[in-house]
Amino acid sequence: MPSTHGLSERIHHALLTTGSRPAIVFEDDDGIRTSLSGNELLRHSRAIAHRLRAAGDDGPVALPAHRNADTVAGMVACLETGRPWLPLDPSLAPDLRVRRIASAGVRTLLSSGKDFSRTGESAARISPAPAVVRGDRYAEIPLSDDGVHVAPSPGGAGRTAYLIQTSGTTGEPKTIAVPLSSLDHYLTSTLPLLGGPALRGQRLGVLTTLAADLGYTVLFNALLASAELHLVPEHVSRDPGEFAAYQAEHRLDLYKTTPGHLRALLAQENGARCLPRSLLIAGGEAFTEDLLTSLSSAGAQCRVLNHYGPAETCIGVALGEVFPAPVTVLGGTAPVGRAIGAAELTVLDPAGNPVAPGVEGEIAVGGPSVGWGYLGAPAQTADRFRPDRRAAGGRHYLTGDRGVIRENGDLHVLGRVDRQRKVRGRRVEPAGVEAVLRETGLVTDAHVDVRHVGSLGAVVVAWVSGGPRAEPGAIRARAALRLPDHALPSRIIILPRLPRTANGKIDSAALPGPDTLGAAVGVRTGSAGGAESGGAADPLESEVTAAFAAVLGLPSLGLDDDVLALGAHSLAIVQVTGRLGGAGLGVSDVYTARTPRRVARLLAERGARPVDAEHGTTASAPPSGPPPTGFLPQQQGIWIDEARHRGHLVYRIPLRWEMRGPLRAEDVGAAFDRVLARHGALRSRAVLTGEKPVVVRDPVSTARLRTADVSALAPSLRDAEAARLGDALFAEPVDPERGPAIAALLVRRAADHHDLFVRVHHGGFDAASADVLVDELLGGGGPDSPPAEPVPLTSAPHTRHGPRPLPAPAEFALDGGEPGAGPGDSDVVLADMPAPLWERVRSAADAAGVSLYTVVLSAWATVLGRQNAERRFAVATAVDVRADHGLGDREPVIGCFVNTVPVVVDMDPGRTTAATWQSVAGAVAAALDDRLRPYSDHASWMRGTYGSGVPARASCTLQQTRAHRHADVSAFPRPTTVARATADLDLVVTAYEDRAPVAALHFRPGVCDRVRARRLADQFLTVLGESCAHPELPVSRASSVSAAAREEVLALGRGPDATARPGLVS
C-alpha cells in the first residue's frame, strides 16, 4: 500500500539523502552533458513550485517534455503544489501543440531555455491566453530560504497526479487523468521489485520520451531510491552505435525501453555491450520470441522484465521476468507476468463475465491502478471505465487487449479486440488516421492499417483513392500538420478505388501489399517533391539506394526518396550499414541526410567507395555462384596452418559444461544428432589442394554422442575420473581431411549431475557457436526447424582503408626456454582469480569509463612491457565479425565468424595507469575499425616491412561465459586444462557466472619454461590488482610488483570467498 508520507515528501527526503551526489545526468540546450546533485535538483524544483503558486491557478500545468532537469524538476514541483502536469512532445507541430493544450483545459504553461519563446507563441494562440511560467534553473528566484528542505504536499484523496494524452491519431487526442493515489500505488509496488534500497547510487536510464508515461517507471523510482538518473538524449538512444558508446562510458545498471528498441540494440555487432549491468525493463509493445533468442545469442548477463499496462491504468499493471528465467511463449510472444501490487487483472467474455484460466477474452484492469477516465469525454469514459460487478463501488478499465491468464497466473497478451494498433510502443488508431487523410482535401476514400514490412517490422500503411492531386508526398505533408510522426503513414498507396466486399466493407485481402509497389509509395524531399539535381546515379549512389530498398522491402527506390518517411528506423539503418560493409555510417547520419543521394555524398566525403570497385561485387546484390558457406579468409588460414602442422592442439577447441538437473543420455544424443544435421559447419572437412584448402561438407556426420557413467565411484573420485575421461577426449588426434570435426562425451555422475565434454575444430566453430551448441542440446535441437545451411552471408569488404602500420615484432627477454620447440607445441598454467579482485577490476573499469577488456589488456601489456625492449608493440585478440556478414539478426548459426586483429599498445612507463587505460581503449577501437582485414594481410605487410611475418607474439582474450538454462536443467561452463597457445604468450581470462574467474596463460616452450610462465601469470594478477587499486600511479610503479601488492592479492584470495584459489603461491 502507498506510504503514509506523501509522494512529494518522499521524493524530497530522497533528494536530501542524495545530497551532493549526482541525482540527474542530462544534455543541456547547447548539447553539453551535465548533471545536478540531489540538493541542486531539489532547490530547482522548489523554485518552480514557488513560481507556480505565484501564478495563482490550481489547474493543470503543461510542460514541454525535454529530456533535461527542467522537465523533471517541473514534475516534482507539480507534485508539491498539487497541480497535475501535462507533458507535451517537443517535436509536435505548432497547430497540434496548441490543440492539445486547449483540449486539456490548461491555464498554465511551464517552459524554459530555448523553448520559452515558442511556448509564448503557443499561449498567444489560445483564448483566454494561459500564463507562461519560467521553469529554467537560472532565473531570479525570490525564496525566503535556500530552497533545500522538505515541503509538505497538499492532501486530498481526489488529487490528480498528471494528465497523459493518447497518440491523438483521431486528430483530437484523449486526455487521461491519472490519480495521485494510482501513481503512489505504482511506485510503492514497483520499487521493491526493481531493487529497493540496493538502487541507491546506481545508474538508472530513461531512454524514451518523457511525453509518455513509459519512462516514469525509471524516472520516479530513481528519485525515490536516491539513484543517479540518466536522461539519455534522443539522438543517442535512437542510434545503437552512439548508445553503445554512452553505455561504455556510463555503465547504466538499469533502464527501460521498448522491445523494438532493444531489437535494434542487439542487432549490431556485440549488441550485449548495450545492455544494462543488472536489469532491463521492456514495455510498450509485444515482447516477441525472437528477442529471447537474441538475448541468449548475445550472451546477455542482465535480467529482463516484461511490463504491461495501458496509460489509462497508470504506467503498468503487470510485470514478469522473461530472461534468463524460462518462459512459455504463446502466439509468438512472452508473458507479461502477474499483477503489480493490489492491481487486479481479469479476462472477460463478450458478456463481461470472467472466464476460466486458459480461456481467451478481453483483459480488464481493476483496483487502485485505474485512472479517473478521459478529461471532458464522459461518453468515452463510460464506454471503457465500467463498474466492477465483483466489488461495490469498484471500477475496471476495459483495455481492448485480447489475452489469457494461464493456470500459473501469468498473463499473455495476444492482440487486440478492436482496430487499435501499436507502432514501436505508440498507439495508432487507424480510423482516426483515415479521418485525417480524408480531411486533407486530396483524398476521397482511405483505409489505414499496420502491416509488417520486411526488416522494418510494423509500419503504418494507407491505401487511398482520389483525384489527380492525390500524390503521396502532398498527402503526407498535409496529414503531418495534425498527426504525430509515428502515426504518419510510411506507405501511401494510390488506387483508382478501394476494393470492397458485397456488404460494403473494405476487402483487406484484395489490397496490394506495401512491398509490391515502387514509385507510388515514394516520398521525395524538397519543396515541390522534386529530385535534387545530380543526373544519373553513380556506383556508390546505386549501392546505397539498393541497400535501402532491400531493407525497406521495396523493389526500387529513388535517389531522393525520404527513407525516414518510408519507415526507416534505428534497426533498419543498422541493417543498411551492414549491407554497406560497415562504411562508418551512423544512425544520426541518416536522420540528417534522409535520402540515398545525400547518404552516398556523405560516404564519398569520408573516402568510401562502392564495394564492387574494390572486391568485384555489390554489397546489396546476392552473391553469384553457389551459396556462401561461411568460409572466410581467417578460416582459410586456420585450415592451411592445420595442414602444415598436423598433430598440435591449437585449433581443437575443448569445452566442458557441468549440467545440473534431470537428464537422459538418449535425449541428449538425439539432440546432438539434430544439431549435426542442422549445422553444416560441424560436418565439414578440409582437403588441401596446393596451397589452399577446399571445404567438403558431408551430408551425414559420423560423429555420435559418447557416454560414460562414473556414478558407481565414491563421490570424492567422480570429479577426477570425469576430468580424466574429458582430457582423453581432448587429446584424441583429429584428421581435418577425414573428420569428423566434432566429438562429444556425456559423463553421468548422478541422475541429476552430468559433465558434457566437447572437442571441436576451430575451422567451423567460434565462441558464439558454443552458446548455440549447448542451447540446442538442452532445447532439443529444433527437430522441426529447417537446416541452418547454407548461411546467406552479405558481402563484407576486408577493409576500406590502407594497411595499418604495426611496430616490429616484440623481442621478449625470457630465459629458461626449450630451443627448437615447434609452433604446435604449447603448455598452460592456470590461476584462479579471487572474486574480490575481479570486483575491483569491474569497479575500476566503471569509474574510468572503459571496458573490462581494456583494463585486462593494460595489465597484461604492463607485464609484457617489462620483458620487451620496445615500449610500443602489438598484442593480438580475436573479434566477432558475424554482424559484418549479415548474421547479427539471424537465427543462431554454428561456424567460425571471428578474425584476429593486432592491438598496438604504447606502454609509456611515466604515464599513469588511468591514462594508460584511455590510451589502450583508443588502441582497441582502432583495431576494431580494422576488424575485416584478414590477419594474413597484416602478416604480409610485416614480412615486407620487417622481414618477419609475425604481427603479434602475444595475445590477450577476455571471455565472459554464461550459464544455460532450459526447463529443469542448467549447464555451467567449466575451465579445461588443454594448452592451446595461438601465440608465444597467449593470456585468456574467463569470467564465469557461478565461480571465480580463471586466468590461463598458454605458452610455447621455446619461449619460456613452466616456472617462468607461472611467474608471469602471478605478475599479471598482481599488476591487475595494484593498477585497479591505485590508477593514479605511474605504470613503472604498477609493474614493479612490490611485495606489499603481491601480499594484497594473496589476502584477497584468503577472504570470505572460500572457493577462490588465487594463482599466486605464498
pLDDT, tens digit, 9 for 90 and up, residues 7-42: 999 999 999 999 999 999 999 887 888 999 999 999
Is residue 153 within 8 A of residue 52, CB to CB? The reply is: no
Q: Which domain range does residue 569 map to?
A: 539-615
Is 699 contained in some domain?
Answer: yes
> What are 21's three cell numbers?
551526489
Pairing type for strands 491-494 and 457-465 reads parallel
- Given this model, what pLDDT does residue 156 score? 54
Q: What is the CATH number of the domain that holds 513?
A: 3.30.300.30
Selected residue with higher pLDDT from 297 and 820: 297
Residue length of the chain: 1066
The conformation of residue 273, written as its DSSP 8-state character, comes to: G
Helices (H), 443-485: 472-479
pLDDT of 186 strictly over 90: yes
Range scoring the smallest mean pLDDT among 313-322, 399-408, 762-771, 862-871: 862-871
681 shares its domain with 552: no
For 107-128, how does the pLDDT look when each residue is reduced to its tens digit (9 = 90+)? 899 988 777 777 778 888 887 8
Is 798 contained in some domain?
Answer: no
Q: Is 193 helix (H, G, I), strand (E, B) or coil?
A: helix
Q: Which residues pair with 374 in a beta bridge?
A: 176
Of 927, 932, 925, 896, nearest to 619 by C-alpha is 932
Q: What is the CATH number of the domain that holds 857?
A: 3.30.559.30
Number of H helices, E strands in the chain: 30, 40
The residue-averaged pLDDT of 173-183 equals 92
501 shares its domain with 607: no
> What are 371's three cell numbers?
485512472
Taking CA atoms, 909 is separated from 348, 786, 1033, in Å, by: 72, 56, 10
661 shares its domain with 725: yes
Taking CA atoms, 571 is separated from 82, 264, 276, 285, in Å, by: 41, 4, 19, 16
User: What integer best gives the mean pLDDT of the chain?
Assistant: 80
Is 308 contained in some domain?
Answer: no
- Given this model, what pLDDT does residue 808 score? 84
Taking CA atoms, 254 is separated from 198, 203, 266, 529, 992, in Å, by: 12, 7, 16, 44, 21
Is 236 contained in some domain?
Answer: no
Q: What is the CATH number of the domain that holds 583?
A: 1.10.1200.10
Is residue 180 within 8 A of residue 85, CB to CB? The reply is: no
Range scoring the smallest mean pLDDT among 469-483, 540-554, 1031-1045: 1031-1045
844 shares its domain with 988: yes
For 278-292, how does the pLDDT look when each residue is reduced to its tens digit (9 = 90+)? 999 999 888 988 789
Is residue 885 within 8 A of residue 796, CB to CB? The reply is: yes
Selected residue with higher pLDDT from 394 and 838: 838
Task: Using alpha carbons only, give the angle 956, 959, 965 rounded to the nearest 5 degrees.
Answer: 170
Report the largest interatomic distance among the alpha carbons of the chain, rounded to a whole angstrom: 93
Banded pLDDT at 628 (limits 50, 70, 90) = very low
Is residue 267 within 8 A of residue 295, CB to CB? The reply is: no
Strand ranges, E, within 712-836 = 742-750, 753-761, 827-832
857 shares its domain with 1003: yes
* Number of domains into which the chain is organized: 4
Range scoring the smallest mean pLDDT among 456-470, 530-544, 757-771: 530-544
What one-character-per-residue DSSP string does 139-150 give?
A: S----SS-S-SP
Number of Cβ within 10 Å of residue 341's Cβ equals 19
For 222-264, how does the pLDDT look when each residue is reduced to its tens digit (9 = 90+)? 999 999 999 999 989 888 888 988 998 999 999 999 887 898 8
- Given this model, what pLDDT does residue 644 score? 53
Banded pLDDT at 1018 (limits 50, 70, 90) = confident
pLDDT of 319 strictly over 90: yes
655 shares its domain with 739: yes
Q: Among residues 714, 746, 779, which one ends one of the domains?
A: 779
- Given this model, what pLDDT does residue 470 score? 79
The residue-averaged pLDDT of 376-396 equals 85
Q: Percentage of residues in the chain with pLDDT exceeding 90?
A: 32
What is the distance between the alpha carbons of residues 604 and 538, in angstroms, rounded to a whole number?
Answer: 11
The residue-averaged pLDDT of 499-509 equals 72
607 shares its domain with 715: no
Banded pLDDT at 78 (limits 50, 70, 90) = very high
Is residue 1005 within 8 A of residue 1013, CB to CB? The reply is: no
- Given this model, what pLDDT does residue 639 score? 58
857 shares its domain with 998: yes
Q: Among residues 477, 495, 521, which one ends one of the domains?
A: 521
Is 10 contained in some domain?
Answer: no
Dihedral over alpha carbons 766, 772, 774, 776 (to 10 degrees): -150
681 shares its domain with 772: yes
Q: What is the CATH number of the domain that holds 713?
A: 3.30.559.10
pLDDT of 494 strictly over 60: yes
What is the distance between the alpha carbons of residues 136 and 24, in angstroms, rounded to a whole number?
Answer: 15
Is residue 153 within 8 A of residue 7, CB to CB? The reply is: yes
For 459-485, how does the pLDDT look when each residue is reduced to its tens digit (9 = 90+)? 888 988 877 777 888 888 888 888 877
The residue-averaged pLDDT of 941-949 equals 81
Task: Using alpha carbons only, give the angle 320, 326, 332 rounded to the nearest 5 degrees.
Answer: 80
668 shares its domain with 741: yes
pLDDT of 534 strictly over 60: no
To which residue does cell 538442452 refer?
A: 778
611 shares its domain with 667: no
Is 385 contained in some domain?
Answer: no
Is 128 contained in some domain?
Answer: no
**Element (DSSP H or E) covering residue 588:** helix 587-593
The conformation of residue 784, written as its DSSP 8-state character, comes to: T
For 768-814, how does the pLDDT look when each residue is reduced to its tens digit (9 = 90+)? 889 999 988 988 654 455 555 544 444 445 454 567 788 888 777 65
848 shares its domain with 997: yes
Q: Percentage of residues in the chain with pLDDT exceeding 70?
A: 80
Is residue 879 within 8 A of residue 257, CB to CB? The reply is: no
The residue-averaged pLDDT of 257-275 equals 85
Is residue 983 within 8 A of residue 662, CB to CB? The reply is: no
Pairing type for strands 131-134 and 108-111 reads parallel
Q: Is the dihedral of CA 1025, 1030, 1031, 1037 positive or negative?
A: negative
Q: Among residues 462, 486, 521, which one ends one of the domains?
A: 521
**Element (DSSP H or E) covering residue 550:** helix 539-552
Is 922 contained in some domain?
Answer: yes
- Given this model, what pLDDT does residue 818 score? 39
The residue-averaged pLDDT of 963-967 equals 87
Selected residue with higher pLDDT from 588 and 256: 256
- Given this model, what pLDDT does residue 1050 score? 53
Cis peptide before 128 (omega within 30 of 0): yes
Residue 1065 identity: V
Phi–psi pair at 132, nearest 5 degrees: -110, 120
- Given this model, what pLDDT does residue 1063 score? 38
Task: Using alpha carbons only, give the angle 517, 520, 522 rounded to the nearest 5 degrees.
Answer: 100
Of 597, 487, 493, nearest to 96 by C-alpha is 487
